[in-house]
Amino acid sequence: KTISKGYASFDYHQIGYRQSDLVRLDILLNAEPVDALSSLIHRTNSYEFGKKICEKLRELIPRQQFEIII
């Protein structure tokens, strides 16, 4: 954006759809799925993505007097 100062455009043409191996990744908090954290992701990236989300949740959720299972 700095080079074009906002005056550039991007043109594309859709060439169709391709089949892919997608999985639904559900994040559970206290053994209950949280719909806002669910996502569709390619199977090969699902483990790493899920691990990143869980680590981030562990950092962000403050410690409580009771255990929260992620």
Calpha distance 10→15 (Å, rounded): 16
Expressed as residue numbers, the domain containing 55 is 24-60
Q: Tell whether 36 is covered by a domain.
A: yes
pLDDT, mean over the chain: 87
Count how many domains the chain has.
1
Supply the pLDDT for residue 3.
Answer: 77
As a whole number of angstroms, the distance between CA 38 and CA 27 comes to: 6
* Radius of gyration (C-alpha) of the chain in whole angstroms: 19
- Residue 17 lies inside a defined structural domain of this protein: no
Question: Per-residue pLDDT tens for 28-38?
Answer: 988 899 999 99
Is 53 contained in some domain? yes
In a domain, 70, yes or no: no
- Alpha-carbon torsion, ordered 26, 37, 20, 43, to 10 deg: -50
Cα-Cα-Cα-Cα torsion 35, 23, 12, 7, nearest 10 degrees, comes to 40
Q: To the nearest whole percent, how much of the chain has pLDDT over 70?
A: 94
Confirm whether 46 is domain-assigned: yes
Token code pair at residue 48 = 């790493």
Confidence of residue 55 (pLDDT cuts 50, 70, 90): very high
Query: Does any domain span residue 39?
Result: yes
